[in-house]
Chains A and B, each alone.
Chain A
Amino acid sequence: MSDARTDTPSITERIRPVAAGGAVVAVHFLGDEAAFVLGEESLLFWRDGAERRVAVHGGGILAAASDGRRVVTGGDDGKVVAIDAKGAPETIATDAKRRWVDRVAVTADAVAWACGKQAFVLPSKSKDKAARSIELPSSVGGLAFAPKGFRLAIAHYNGATLWFPNAPDAKPEFLEWKGSHLDVTFSPDGRFLVTAMQEAMLHGWRLVDGKHMRMSGYATKVRSLTWGPGAKWLATSGATQLVVWPFAGKDGPMGKAPKVLSPGEQRISAVAAHPKQEVCAVGYEDGMMLLTRVEDGAEVLARPGAKSPISALAWNEAGNRLAFGTEDGEAGVISL
């Protein structure tokens, strides 16, 4: 069953379909070119109908991240690969034991990745190309660079660790919260750290004083999180409605209820906030996509429901192109 949304204004005719040819696990824009990260082996670059495939891994691609200039991927071949707009892949690291690289993060200054209980950072300016590493108490669930300062947040079982790779003598800060933390994100203003948990909830810390925020009520695990412009809100997947937590005030969402928008018949599987406007692109498990205005919940139908869940969603930096992909390998780019 899919939502008809027959009365909703529609831009569905603007979709330019892209034949991904395999599950799309992530998508990122490098300039105006969309880089679709496929479940196995390759990236598909697409711009206005011109496409090229670039092989990056000898197997499954387990993780991908981008800083807008390059896409970094981790694979089940134990490799970390970076690829820029010119499309030349560079192998940044190969795990000696060929362990899975299933978490990655990237900024202009460094690349981070994780194999099991170890997290690694390689600064871009590193002359010896030797990565620094840290051992965690359990497997790494998520990695995120702080927006300012050279600091890496690492989610794991029973909390998150904040690590300064440039200060080997400084003891990493440990933020404790019982349970398994599977993803982590800093608010773009650097004031809050939020993790997604195994238990269908988010946990957050206000970094200045370590105050806790519990954000619960989801139907399933939250696998997609996106910060609105100016870090005013955090929108999430994991329910049949778009759940938007307020982060504008100094207390963030503490003691406040989230906004719930755009109810669908299926759960939301991917979200991507517009880079400039108070709008969020929302992808559902039946393949439907909406553009939802966060202020009043006004909707535009971007893609009608089909079959396969939306698994990847991203805006370009200018906010006039939206790329999406599904688990079944359907993909497309919408120009606004």
Chain B
Amino acid sequence: MSDKIPVTVLTGYLGAGKTTLLNRILSEPHGQKFAVIVNEFGEIGIDNDLVVGADEEVFEMNNGCICCTVRGDLIRIIDGLMRRKGKFDAIIVETTGLADPAPVAQTFFVDENVGQKAKLDAVVTVADAKYLKDRLRDAPEAKNQIAFADVILLNKTDLVSEPDLREVEARIRGINPYATLHRTQRCAIPLPEVLGRNAFDLDRILDIEPSFLEEGNGHDHHHDHDHGHDHDHDHDHDHGGLKHYHDEHMQSFSVRTDKPLDPDKFFPWIQNLVAQEGPKILRCKGILAFKNDPERFVFQGVHMILDGDHQRPWKDGEERLSRAVFIGRDMPEEMIREGFAGCVAKA
């Protein structure tokens, strides 16, 4: 799409291993040069030419959109880094453990100057295999970080048994089945799995159709809610031995059609949808095939903010599917499914 500088956002709850991953990225012989935006400047040793300390200043935009927040410090820093264009190939933003990823992501869509020069490549979340389950229960930030992720590193797997690992993976899948999930120890991972993910991830994400999202398979959902004391906000059921969790508030689903969409129907629909339901939609993304359009259109959104562009021509023989995923809280799924279906172009 462009020569925009790719930005990777590293999130993860306190102690999960973000800094370990960052140092690994910087120390491996990959020939790439990074500009790194970190917090708590100076407290951790980071060996890199371009390291910038950030204040994590989250600002509200005065545009009538309550969930539209941006990172003011990021806007300034990226503007400043562009003075040194050519000195780095990519930007890595490390957020604090308690950060909500939404303002970071929204910054790249809302601020025009930033959006012209940089693009969000992926949100990479490092999760602590041992403690994530607890954090999902008591820390809303941790849940947001999982929901937002494009790539999740389930780290410190050496401290947990295999059944426990499967359990925590099922919890993650219950919130965000679309992220690429890796098991790691000390964040050891081939770097192409976390950097330069853009188009690849979108394609891959949209190929996943988790079985438990399919409706009408005849299985019974035993929603055994015990709303008493000390209750767990999840429930589970078994599909042939594989555990599936449904998070009570956080859900995700995908929509798809092989019929070309009408852009004059789709854009008003999605804009209206995020204007109405944006606070509930943490993330949405998709690849679209419009009628009489030789190019794939990709879009992504955070709350009420949408960003989209033509990506590349459809290849010969490539199936022209339109697919989109939504991750959020208490979303009106049926309404979204029907609305999407209504965007199909007349034959």
Contact = CB atoms under 8 A, between A and B. Distances in A.
Interface of A: 23, 25, 39-40, 59-62, 76, 97, 99-100, 102, 116-117, 138-139, 157, 178-180, 197-199, 220-221
Contacts, number: 63
Given A180-B59, A198-B61, A221-B112, A40 B84 contact: yes
A116 B77 CA distance: 11
A60 B112 contact: no
A39 B30 CA distance: 27
Interface in B79-132: 80-85, 111-113
A61 B83 contact: yes
Given A23-B83, A100-B80, A178-B62, 8 more contacts: A40-B83, A76-B83, A97-B41, A99-B53, A100-B52, A138-B72, A180-B59, A199-B61
Interface in B38-81: 41-42, 52-53, 55, 57, 59-63, 70, 72-73, 75-77, 80-81
A59 B84 contact: yes
Contacts of A116: 55
B80 A139 contact: no
A139 B72 contact: yes
A198 B41 contact: no
A332 B72 CA distance: 34
Nearest to A116: B55
B76 A76 contact: no
Nearest to B75: A198
22 contacts: A23-B83, A39-B82, A40-B83, A40-B84, A60-B84, A62-B83, A99-B41, A99-B53, A100-B52, A100-B77, A100-B80, A138-B57, A139-B57, A139-B73, A139-B76, A157-B72, A179-B60, A180-B59, A180-B72, A197-B62, A198-B111, A199-B63
A39 B85 CA distance: 9
A292 B129 CA distance: 65
A24 to B, nearest CB: 11
Contact of A157 (B52, B53, B59, B111): B59
Contacts of B72: 138-139, 157, 180, 198
Which 6 A/B pairs are nearest by Cβ-Cβ distance?
Answer: A60-B83, A39-B83, A179-B62, A60-B84, A180-B59, A62-B80
Contacts of B63: 199
Given A139-B72, A139-B73, A157-B59, A25 B83 contact: yes
A25 B113 CA distance: 15
A239 to B, nearest CB: 13
B55 A139 contact: yes
A220 to B, nearest CB: 5
Nearest to B113: A221
Interface of B: 41-42, 52-53, 55, 57, 59-63, 70, 72-73, 75-77, 80-85, 111-113
A274 B264 CA distance: 48
Nearest to B77: A100
A329 to B, nearest CB: 11
B85 to A, nearest CB: 7
A141 B42 CA distance: 23
Contacts of A221: 112-113
A78 to B, nearest CB: 11
Contacts of B41: 97, 99
A97 B75 CA distance: 21
Contacts of A61: 83
Residue among A25, A60, A117, A178 with most chain B CB within 10 A? A60
Nearest to B49: A59
B61 A76 contact: no
A199 B62 contact: yes
Contacts of B81: 60
A104 to B, nearest CB: 13
A276 B53 CA distance: 43
A23 B82 CA distance: 10
Contacts of B80: 60, 62, 76, 100, 102
Contacts of A102: 76, 80
A178 to B, nearest CB: 6
B85 A23 contact: yes
B82 to A, nearest CB: 8
A116 B80 CA distance: 13
A199 B84 CA distance: 26
Residue among B55, B70, B84, B113 with most chain A CB within 10 A? B84
Contact of A220 (B57, B61, B112): B112
Contacts of A97: 41-42, 53
A39 B84 contact: yes
B58 to A, nearest CB: 10
A76 B81 CA distance: 9
A117 B83 CA distance: 22
Contacts of A100: 52, 77, 80
B52 to A, nearest CB: 7
A40 B70 CA distance: 27
B55 A117 contact: yes
A167 B112 CA distance: 40
A103 B283 CA distance: 35
A198 B84 contact: no
Contacts of A139: 55, 57, 72-73, 76
Nearest to B73: A139
A35 B81 CA distance: 22
Contacts of B113: 221
Contacts of A138: 57, 72
A199 B70 CA distance: 12
Contacts of B61: 179, 198-199
